[in-house]
Each structure stands twice: as structure tokens, then as C-alpha cells.
């Protein structure tokens, strides 16, 4: 039963990553057909993150009260419907409605994580969460590959495929996933959003710098993800399927780095050193993007970006775990996810605004935010007297 649950959760994670990987490389070029400007495109990218930020704690709370299974079914249904709306959107308004719906029902990964917590012992949970991570890596490689193979057939075909994959996950979840919440209705009353706590966390002597790095790194990377497409399309003159292939390469390099390189480098040079070097490398790559006007150096720089970014994404939760006492691990990772969501909201908005003046300037902005992260990295893992966290 436990193994079956894990397989279903892995499938849900793959569907999330595949869906994201399929549509992100082609979303910009697809939306141009509806007459959206660069700033409007930035709003479109941010719409998903805004709705996700607002809905995720609500979906998590509802899953505590009414069960994991019904919330997963609702969530996956919303994702599937959003892809089909994108595929057959009669106007730009429907693109925004689709991204809002996908964001509003995007709480399935936290609920899927709760299924793992419900059905595994504490010692086995690392394996379960590792399966989710590996599933995301798989999806981010094959999602863009699917786009690359299908977008030349029809611009809407990648969205139809993403919707069909989501429907498959919905059927599997409905048929085979039992309810795992044994404490239905036993919900602890508290506010969905504690903005005071969110703000105060950045001043915490143990985790404040790391949380700010999460925020600025999310702004930087989501800004770059947005700018990557108009830059590739308008300046490098790449097609939508070529852009998708670049994202496939990016995903493959990232997964390889996470699986085989990061931990070895940390053992050789130390966690803090590798973390700082990775952040500086990201800033340098973004600065390089600003000057590039041809494909070969762009591809080479993208490879370095994949290596560096994977290191940062792997090490942030590791650093937070080392900076926080055992009782507060879940709370601090939840706060970290909130800061990441805020960064993913702000990044495309900043990118769209800057790109409306000149697309390459978006990379300069991304480089600046990454450079701030580099200087903040000297403040992480400052071991003083270990205090019990307030989180």
C-alpha cells in the first residue's frame, strides 16, 4: 500500500513538472499571437505565482479538514482544465484565466507531501521526498523535449498534451489512491497568512540571511526565465522548438549536477564556499547574457547557469536545516517556500517592465539580484550560541 501511494505521488510530481516544463518554453511565443506586450507577458507569468501563493496554505488546510484525496482530485482537475483553456483560448483574457486557475489549484505538491507524511515513518520520509525531487527532475527534462517535438506541428499541441497527461494522473489518483489522513477535521485554528512572522523572519540571526537569499534568488531566476524567451526569440532569432531544446538541456544539466556533483564538491571545498561560488557564478552568467548576441556563447553560458543554479537550489534547504533547531524544520521550510513564491511573483513583473525598454537589461537586473545573494551568502551558517527557533 505504501509503495503504491509513493508511486502515485511520484506520478503527480511528474505531471506537475511535465506540465510546467511543456508550457514554459513556449508560453511567451504562444502569447504573442494574442498581442501581449512584454510587460503583459510578465503579468501573465506572475498570475500563476500570485494565485499559487494565496491558495497553497488554503488547500493544505482543507486537506487536513476534508482529506488528501478530494483535494488532490480537485487540484489535478484544475491543472488539466487550465491546460485545455490555454490550448483553445479565444482571447488573451482566457490565457490569464487559465494561468490563474492553474495557480489556484497548484497546491497538489504540498498535499502530496502530506500523503507521504501520513503513510511513512519518520525514517522513511527522506526517501519519499527524494522521489518527489527525482520526479521533478524527470519532468523538467522531458517536458521541454515534448514541446520541442510538438510545437512545430501546432502551437496549441503542447498544451493539449499537458492537459492529457494531467487527466491520466487524475484517473490514476481517483482509482488507486486511498484517503491517507487519519485525523480528518482535527484542524488547528490559526491564520492562513502570518505576514508579521514572514517579515520578522528576515531579521532572525540564524536564518534571516538565507531567507533573503531565497527571495532575491527567486526574483533573479524567475526574471531570467521570463527574459530568456523574448531574448531567444527576438535577438537570437530562435524558434519555439529550439528554445524548448535549450530548456531540456538546462533540465538535464541541473538533474545531473544535483545527483552527482553537488555533494562531492561540498565534501571537497565546504558547503559555504560552494554556495557562495555558485551564487557569484549565476550573477556572472546573467551579466554575460547581457553582452551575448549569438547562439554558441549563449548555449555555453546556459550550461554554466544550469550547473550553478542546481547547486544553489540543493544547498538552500540544507543550509536552513543546519541553521534551525529540530523542532522547527517544517515551519522554516514553509517560510522559505513563501519567500520563493513572492520572488516568483516579483521576478516576471520586474522582467516585463525592464524588457519593455530593452530586453537585455532584464539580464542586468537578474545579475544585480544574484550579486546581492552572493554578498548575503557570507552571513549564512554563522554559528553562535544555538538558540531554539521562534518558528
CA 68 – CA 59 distance, rounded (Å): 9
Mean pLDDT over residues 30-59, rounded? 88
CA dist 27 and 222 (Å) reads 14
Distances (CA, A) of 103 to 53, 54, 188: 8, 9, 25
CA distance 39 to 180: 43
Model confidence pLDDT, tens digit, residues 252-280: 887 788 778 887 888 899 888 999 999 99
Residue 87: pLDDT band (50, 70, 90) is very high
CB 163 within 8 A of CB 152: no
Q: What is the DSSP letter of 257?
A: I
Residue 384 pLDDT class (50, 70, 90 cuts): very low
Domains of the chain: 1-178 (1.20.1250.20), 195-382 (1.20.1250.20)
The whole-number pLDDT of residue 177 equals 86
CA neighbor of 181 nearest in space, from 69, 40, 33: 69
**pLDDT digits 0-9 by tens, 113-140:** 777 777 767 556 656 666 776 777 777 7
Q: Which of 75, 189, 68 is nearest to 118 (CA)?
A: 68
- The pLDDT tens digits for 280-307 are 999 999 999 999 999 899 999 988 888 8
> What are 370-382's pLDDT values in tens digits?
999 999 999 888 7
Pairwise CA distance, residues 163 & 143, whole Å: 12
Q: Which helix (H) or strand (E) holds 184?
A: none
Which is more confidently placed, 337 or 351? 351
pLDDT of residue 386: 47
Supply the pTM of this predicted model.
Answer: 0.80
Residues present in the chain in total: 391
Q: Percent of the chain having pLDDT more than 70?
A: 88
Tens-place pLDDT, residues 3-38: 677 788 888 888 878 888 888 888 888 998 899 988
Alpha-carbon distance of 56 to 148, in angstroms, equals 31
Residues 246 and 145: their CA atoms lie apart, in Å, by 9
Burial of 192 (0-12, 13-18, 19+ CB in 10 A): exposed
Please say if the pLDDT value at position 193 is more than 70. Answer: no
pLDDT at residue 124, as a whole number: 65
What are the φ and ψ backbone dihedral angles of 62, each rounded to 5 degrees?
-65, -35
Query: Nearest 5°: phi and psi at 9?
Result: -65, -40
Sorted by sequence, the CB contacts under 8 Å of residue 235 that are 6+ apart come out as 293, 359, 360
Q: Determine contact, residues 66/379, Cβ cutoff 8 Å.
A: no
Torsion angle of the four alpha carbons 309, 146, 298, 261, in this order, in degrees rounded to the nearest 10: 30
Helices (H) and strands (E) in the chain, counts: 15, 0
Amino acid at each position: 500500500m505504501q509503495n503504491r501511494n509513493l508511486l502515485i505521488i511520484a506520478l503527480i510530481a511528474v505531471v506537475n513538472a511535465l506540465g510546467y516544463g511543456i508550457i514554459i518554453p513556449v508560453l511567451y511565443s504562444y502569447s504573442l499571437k494574442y498581442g501581449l506586450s512584454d510587460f503583459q507577458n510578465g503579468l501573465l507569468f506572475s498570475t500563476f505565482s500570485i494565485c499559487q501563493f494565496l491558495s497553497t496554505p488554503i488547500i493544505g488546510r482543507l486537506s487536513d479538514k476534508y482529506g488528501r484525496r478530494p483535494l488532490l482530485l480537485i487540484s489535478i482537475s484544475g491543472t488539466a482544465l487550465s491546460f485545455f483553456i490555454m490550448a483553445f483560448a479565444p482571447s488573451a483574457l482566457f490565457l490569464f484565466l487559465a494561468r490563474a486557475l492553474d495557480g489556484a489549484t497548484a497546491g497538489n505538491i504540498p498535499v502530496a507531501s502530506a500523503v507521504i507524511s501520513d503513510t511513512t515513518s519518520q525514517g522513511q520520509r527522506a526517501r519519499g521526498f527524494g522521489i518527489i525531487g527525482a520526479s521533478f527532475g524527470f519532468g523538467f527534462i522531458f517536458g521541454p523535449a515534448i514541446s520541442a517535438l510538438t510545437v512545430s506541428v501546432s502551437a496549441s499541441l503542447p498544451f493539449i498534451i499537458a492537459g492529457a497527461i494531467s487527466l491520466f494522473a487524475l484517473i490514476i489518483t481517483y482509482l488507486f489512491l486511498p484517503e491517507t489522513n487519519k485525523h480528518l477535521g482535527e484542524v488547528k485554528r490559526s491564520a492562513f497568512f502570518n505576514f508579521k512572522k514572514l517579515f520578522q523572519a528576515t531579521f532572525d540571526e540564524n536564518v534571516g540571511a538565507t531567507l533573503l537569499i531565497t527571495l532575491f534568488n527567486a526574483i533573479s531566476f524567475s526574471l531570467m526565465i521570463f527574459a530568456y524567451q523574448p531574448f531567444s526569440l527576438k535577438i537570437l532569432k530562435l524558434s519555439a522548438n529550439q528554445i524548448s531544446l535549450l530548456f531540456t538541456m538546462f533540465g538535464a544539466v541541473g538533474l545531473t549536477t544535483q545527483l552527482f556533483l553537488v555533494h562531492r564538491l561540498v565534501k571537497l571545498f565546504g558547503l559555504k564556499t560552494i554556495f557562495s561560488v555558485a551564487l557569484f557564478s549565476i550573477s556572472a552568467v546573467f551579466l554575460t547574457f547581457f553582452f551575448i548576441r549569438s547562439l554558441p556563447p549563449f548555449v555555453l553560458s546556459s550550461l554554466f547557469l544550469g550547473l550553478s543554479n542546481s547547486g544553489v537550489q540543493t544547498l538552500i534547504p540544507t543550509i536552513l536545516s543546519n541553521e534551525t533547531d529540530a523542532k522547527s524544520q517544517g515551519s522554516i521550510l514553509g517560510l522559505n517556500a513563501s519567500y520563493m513564491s513572492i520572488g516568483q511573483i516579483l521576478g516576471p513583473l520586474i522582467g516585463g517592465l525592464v524588457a519593455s525598454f530593452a530586453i537585455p537589461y532584464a539580464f542586468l537586473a537578474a545579475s544585480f539580484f544574484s550579486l546581492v545573494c552572493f554578498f548575503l551568502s557570507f552571513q549564512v551558517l554563522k554559528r553562535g550560541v544555538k538558540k531554539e527557533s521562534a518558528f
